[in-house]
Structure 1
Amino acid sequence: MGKFVVSPATHLTDCGRFRASFSVQRAQGNGSYCRVFRFDKTFVSRDAAKLFAVTQGWLQTSMPHPPVC
């Protein structure tokens, strides 16, 4: 997504639902940036969790000043 690499992921919970997460990475010159976001919300399907992760990653990288968690 532009100058960032966003990697969505899903994780199966003990109750059979799925959690979403994503990482954002950017390398620029001698510096680099990496952040991992994990969400408490659970989803019925892996696809729904992945869609949520992709959407959140897009929002995080497209905002000029994203909120800090």
Structure 2
Amino acid sequence: MDFIHTTVAVGKYLVSPLIRHTDDGDFAASVSIRSGQGRGTHDRVMRFTPRFDSHALAHSYATEQGLGWVRERTGSRVVVT
């Protein structure tokens, strides 16, 4: 089982897509959204049920879901290029 991730910092949030290559040969996506510092750190993890044919598709989906969560809470327009 391998987890491959990158992080995107958005204000006080750190969005980390987590992609796993499954035994069936497809890719599973989840995302971690961390906020706070030190003992006040809070980490939300969302796991998604769709499976993807490629790492890139799973990564894109997880990133967009995480950034969408941040957008809902901050009202900001988050764009990753």
Q: Any unmatched runs of 5+ in structure 1?
A: none
Give 1:2's aligned residue: 11
Q: Any unmatched runs of 5+ in structure 2?
A: 1-9, 75-81
Corresponding residue pairs, total:
65
Q: CA deviation at 1:31?
A: 2.1
Asked if 1:43 is matched to 2:52, the reply is: yes
> Partner of 2:41: helix, strand, or coil?
strand
The percentage of counterpart residues that share the same residue type is 38
Q: Which amino acid aligns with 2:27?
A: F
Misfit runs of 4+, over 6 Å: none
TM-score, reference length from structure 1: 0.83
